[in-house]
Amino acid sequence: MLARAEEMFDGRRVAPAPPRRWTMSEPRPTSQDERDESPSERADRNFSELVQELRVSQTGVQILFAFLLTLAFSGSFPDESTVFSYVLTAALLAAACSSLCFMAPVVVHRTSFRLGGKDRLVWVTHRFAMAGLALLALAMLLSIWIVIAYLFTYLAAHVISGVLAAVVVVLWIVVPLHFRAEVTSTNDD
């Protein structure tokens, strides 16, 4: 064995190429195969990462839910218009369902504890997270509509909520799908 890492190439010794240095603008590609973990360890890690993400989202939806609950009992809430009541009800229901989706993986995990199937639990948790995020977006948009309609006009509420909906679509759908497509094409190469 050679003291230095050298390889034979056509009968002569050649030093190996230096390791590639990756910059922040050019992130190092990673692969599931690079990790030294069993499928069980991978499922544990994936579930742990998902639960951490859900904690962040859960906090946001709880704050929004509390705001919506107190809004109806506020003395300045417009009770002469049924439109506000319907939109507030829809926003409350969306926030409540979002919160339930974010908490559901804990219940599934508790009821299936020590039965195996962590990989399946990761996929169930992923689906609950996606549903919860969609409902959270709806609750946020309806809440913005309520506040803008109260402060200004229905037209302003429609326009601003529509613009915000477009921002949500770009940030929560277009950008992640574009990122996914780039990662998939990089991993296929």
Q: Indicate the pLDDT class of residue 174, thresholds 50, 70 and 90.
A: very high
| Per-residue pLDDT at 90 exceeds 70 | yes
Residue 35 domain-assigned (yes or no): no
Residue 50 domain-assigned (yes or no): yes
Residue 73 domain-assigned (yes or no): yes
In 3D space, the residue among 101, 132, 99, 105 whose CA is nearest the CA of residue 121 turns out to be 105
Residue 11 domain-assigned (yes or no): no
Residue 12 domain-assigned (yes or no): no
Residue 82 to residue 73: CA distance in whole angstroms: 15
Q: What is the DSSP letter of 3?
A: S
How many angstroms separate the Cα of 176 from the Cα of each of 13, 70, 127, 128? 47, 34, 16, 17
Q: What confidence tens digit (pLDDT) does each residue in 99-154 have?
A: 999 998 888 888 887 777 778 888 898 899 999 999 999 999 999 999 999 999 99
Residue 31 to residue 33: CA distance in whole angstroms: 5
Residue 6 domain-assigned (yes or no): no
Residue 54 domain-assigned (yes or no): yes
Q: Is 35 exposed, middle or buried (0-12, 13-18, 19+ CB in 10 A)?
A: exposed
What's the pLDDT score for residue 111? 87
Residue 150 domain-assigned (yes or no): yes
The residues pairing with 14 across neighbouring beta strands, listed in sequence order, are: 7
The structural domain count of the chain equals 1
Mean pLDDT of 24-36: 59
35 or 86, greater pLDDT:
86
Q: Which domain holds residue 127?
A: 42-183
